[in-house]
Structure 1
Amino acid sequence: MSEDQNQHSEEGSFKEQIMRALEEGRKNREVESTEKTTTVSGRLDKENKSEDDEELASSYERLFGKRQSKNEKQKNEAFKKESAGPSTSVEKQSVNSPVVEQKAPVKKAREESVKEIVEPSKKAEKKQVDEEKSILPKVKKEKKMTSRHSNSVKSGQDNSKIIVEAEKKTASSEQDQREEPSIFTRIGEKFDELHQMDAEFEGNISEESNLKRAERRKEDRVVHKIVYVLTIGILIVAGILAISGYNYVNAGLKPLDKNDKKLVQVEVPSGSSNRQIGDILEDGDVIRDGMIFNFYTKFKNLTNFQAGYYQFSPNMTLDQIGKELQQGGSAEPLDDASKVTIPEGYDIDQIATLVAKKTDFKKADFIKLMKDDKFFEELKTTYPDLLTDAGNAKDVRYRLEGYLFPATYNIHKSRSLKDLVTQMVDTTNQVMSQYYSQIKEKGMDVQEVMTLASLVEKEGVTESDRKNIAQVFFNRIDAGMALQSDISILYALGEHKEVVTIKDTQIDSPYNLYVNTGYGPGPFDNPSQEAISAVLNPTDNDYVYFVADISTGKVYYAKTYEEHMELVEKYVNKGQ
């Protein structure tokens, strides 16, 4: 029992010594670490402390098992007090006894515990491991020396001293090691270097971004310049094309050649569209562009083009060509001598002269046919809306005066003079067919409209003047005043001159509108469609007088006779 008690007391004291030594070494390391290390190394030392505590606990458990409870510790302390006295004598008497041999395994266990306590510190730092390896053999030798010559208590104290010295040496080695830059300090320095590199990198990035922005701005400027140049170029090209297109269209509306009067014969097949007719005229070198002709006829609402053979010249306008197409062509090919154009405002005597000149018909035959009542009745039966009022008129020179529409007519050798006149009357009926209802609404008849239109045709040149003059005639008729048109005097005289004298105005004739009031017997010439439209759509005014400047053709209007005479002296008698 005494041996077991001694053994337990030695083990308890040995444990306490080891614990104290390790605790003192740990405290020394804490003090040194707080004074010499930085905040980062301090944090890492705490981690090392926790690791040392864990290693100490693990080594303690391996050596002695689980920690004793408080009751076991109290029993050990009581047992130590009881065995404190006789322990020395027993130790002295048993220097060479078998008990020493029984304690040999205990010593080996102590040595192994020392190894296990020291070895975990080797893993923490390499230098400390090397130093501990050099110290441990000396500790073993000293333990063996003391185990042979001292008792168990002294050997435990010596061992604790040796362990303390080992701990001091390891602490000194740690101090030497910490005097050098620790791994944590180096890590901190590396972090600082990384922060500096990040700052430099960010600076480089900012510089690169600025460079990229500058390059982008340059590229944007270049792109803007390119877009600006392209836009200007497109606008210039568009302007050039627009001007060119305008000039081309404007040229297409004009005659192809004003000086070329040579007739060109073309055939318009039945059912041809305006576009096809334009292509035919373009191919025949009559017009400049068939597409422009197509658009022009649609814009002017020129329709009812007739099939047949036509003769056109390059000096003809699109309006003239359109009107001839509306009148109709010949069923057979034509030659140059069989084409005649009746100008606007020509009377029957002038038309007879022109037909005789252009055809094989004689003027006398033409005048005779105009006085043929039987032929007139045949035409009135065919065109009652047009000729009924003319048949009822009295004191007329020619019943067909005003009804031979001014246009170009194709005359074939196989056709008679009646065919030509019929063609002229038929053209007039086609023009007037759109005005019959309007004439009735105004309370007029066809004979009155054609009579005023024949006066307006020669009294005015422009459309605006013709509409104003037509209203002056209506104002005079409403006031019971004579129309006093020089055109009526010239027709009554059967002459064509520029100046009408006072003697001329005294001629005894139903056509003398200086003496006779109203419209007169009938038309004085064959008016154009524009003159007819001016009579039906006059411009409202209060004038009852007008006079035209002989040199310029401009018309001046007056409301009183005094104003009119002043205008006559100023614009008519100035050269006399």
Structure 2
Amino acid sequence: MGWFAYSIWSSSSDSNQVIVKIPAGASFAEVLDTLTEAGLVSNSIAFRLLAVTTGSDGKIRPGTYKFTRGISNAALLNALVEGRSSVRMKVTFPEGSTIRRMAAILTREIGVDSAAFVRLANDRKFLEKIGINASTAEGYLMPDTYFLYWGEQPETVLARMSETFRAFYTDNLKKLAAAQGLTPYEAIILASIVEGEARTEGDRPIIAGLYLNRLRRGMKLEADPTIQYILPDGPRRLLYKDLEMDNPYNSYRYKGLPPTPINNPGRASITATLKPASHDYLYMVAKADGSGQHTFSRTGAEHEQAVKLYRKRVGTE
């Protein structure tokens, strides 16, 4: 049935305008059902005959299209084959998305080749072309809402997202990184950890300040999000054996920051890292009240009590 193969709605600006979505992998029969139910094809036999005789029945491109009712079969078919009349789709990437998660979102929403996206996002030569001087684009792709065409090329999407990041991460912000004793890249690495840890806006600058305190004291960060990043079956609840993995991203074993960002942090986490709260906290544990907030401590003894209270409330002690 046509409902399976398409989404259709009228444009608010003109009742004669129709937006039709043709998904990847749709058969010609499904496409024809879609167009007929949208009121764009009145004679399905004539449309099928035209498509078959011109060899266009197997060349229709997936996408989201806007057409005017009354369009001729020839014009409609040509537009579908050439990909014309396509409209942009709204694609949103949540803060803290990894490259792989972004690739999955792009595949689901606009049919982008996820493998090609991931490959290019880790291709140093390509990254240099779009202004990224690193081995990976992780951390350089701004989570935001973008309007993209169905089947958009991975190169185009990566360039757009990195451009949006650069527009935000200005020289003035990079100077703030230096004030915290960080390079611009290190600030993004730390911001990605803050993004992975924080669940509330109020906690972000406090968590950033806490990690900076640990770095300045030569302490290991012991940040769970760095472990989640390297788990082949994550994210999931961490086990003690996970903390023993010999991996440079394991902040329970290695001091300092991991080699690269562990996700693509949003504006709020980057800002919190560059403008952290000033305090003496060195430890934190999640509260057991479902608020997403943390209990912060200055000493190991205080932290042990906070952990004990957490375990008691969640019933693990």
Q: What TM-score do the two structures reach when normalised by structure 2?
A: 0.68
RMSD: 2.4
8 Å CA contact retained: 2:93, 2:145? yes
Which of 335, 348, 356 aligns to 2:87? It is: 335
The one-letter amino acid of 1:566's match is Q
**What is the deviation of 1:549?**
2.0
Structure 1 match to 2:298: 559
Which of 370, 374, 378 aligns to 2:121? It is: 370
In the TM superposition, 1:371-390 aligns within 5 A as: 371-380=122-131, 387-388=132-133
8 Å CA contact retained: 1:406, 1:526? yes
Structure 2 match to 1:547: 285
The one-letter amino acid of 1:405's match is M
Structure 2 match to 1:34: none
Q: Which whole-Å CA distance do the structure 2 matches of 1:561 and 1:333 have between them?
A: 63
Structure 2 match to 1:401: 138
SS in 1 for 2:130: helix
Q: 1:544 to 1:442 in 2, by over 3 A?
A: closer
What do residues 373-412 of structure 1 show as CA deviations (whole Å, max 9, x unaligned)?
21012123xxxxxx34xx2xxxxxx611011111111222
Q: Which whole-Å CA distance do the structure 2 matches of 1:548 and 1:401 have between them?
A: 26
For the pair 1:418 / 2:169, whether they are aligned, the reply is no
The one-letter amino acid of 1:335's match is V
SS in 1 for 2:284: strand
Whose relative contact order is higher, 1 or 2, with alpha carbons under 8 Å and at least 6 apart? Answer: 2
The one-letter amino acid of 1:339's match is K
SS in 2 for 1:340: strand
The one-letter amino acid of 1:449's match is A
The one-letter amino acid of 2:112's match is F
- Percent identity over the alignment is 32
SS in 2 for 1:399: coil
Structure 1 match to 2:251: 513
More off after superposition, 346-355 vs 405-414: 405-414
The one-letter amino acid of 1:417's match is P
Q: 1:508 to 1:354 in 2, by over 3 A?
A: same
Q: 1:410 to 1:564 in 2, by over 3 A?
A: same
What do residues 223-244 of structure 1 show as CA deviations (whole Å, max 9, x unaligned)?
xxxxxxxxxxxxxxxxxxxxxx
8 Å CA contact retained: 1:352, 1:366? yes
8 Å CA contact retained: 2:280, 2:298? yes
**What is the deviation of 1:333?**
6.9
Q: Which whole-Å CA distance do the structure 1 matches of 2:85 and 2:222 have between them?
A: 48
**What is the deviation of 1:345?**
0.8
Q: Which ranges of structure 2 fall in alignment gaps of 5 or more residues?
A: 1-8, 14-83
**What is the deviation of 1:366?**
1.3
Runs of 4+ in 1 over 4 A off after TM superposition: 262-266
Structure 2 match to 1:486: 224
SS in 2 for 1:484: coil
8 Å CA contact retained: 1:471, 1:538? yes
In the TM superposition, 1:18-37 aligns within 5 A as: none
Q: What TM-score do the two structures reach when normalised by structure 1?
A: 0.39
Structure 1 match to 2:209: 471
* Structure with higher strand content: 2
8 Å CA contact retained: 1:463, 1:534? no
8 Å CA contact retained: 1:489, 1:505? yes
For the pair 1:359 / 2:110, whether they are aligned, the reply is yes
SS in 2 for 1:463: coil
8 Å CA contact retained: 2:112, 2:150? no
Q: Which whole-Å CA distance do the structure 1 matches of 2:85 and 2:163 have between them?
A: 21
**What is the deviation of 1:492?**
1.6
* Structure with higher helix content: 1
8 Å CA contact retained: 2:138, 2:262? yes
Q: Which whole-Å CA distance do the structure 2 matches of 1:349 and 1:414 have between them?
A: 17
The one-letter amino acid of 1:407's match is D
**What is the deviation of 1:452?**
0.9
Q: 1:414 to 1:570 in 2, by over 3 A?
A: closer
**What is the deviation of 1:498?**
4.7
SS in 2 for 1:546: strand
Q: Which ranges of structure 1 fall in alignment gaps of 5 or more residues?
A: 1-261, 267-331, 381-386, 392-397
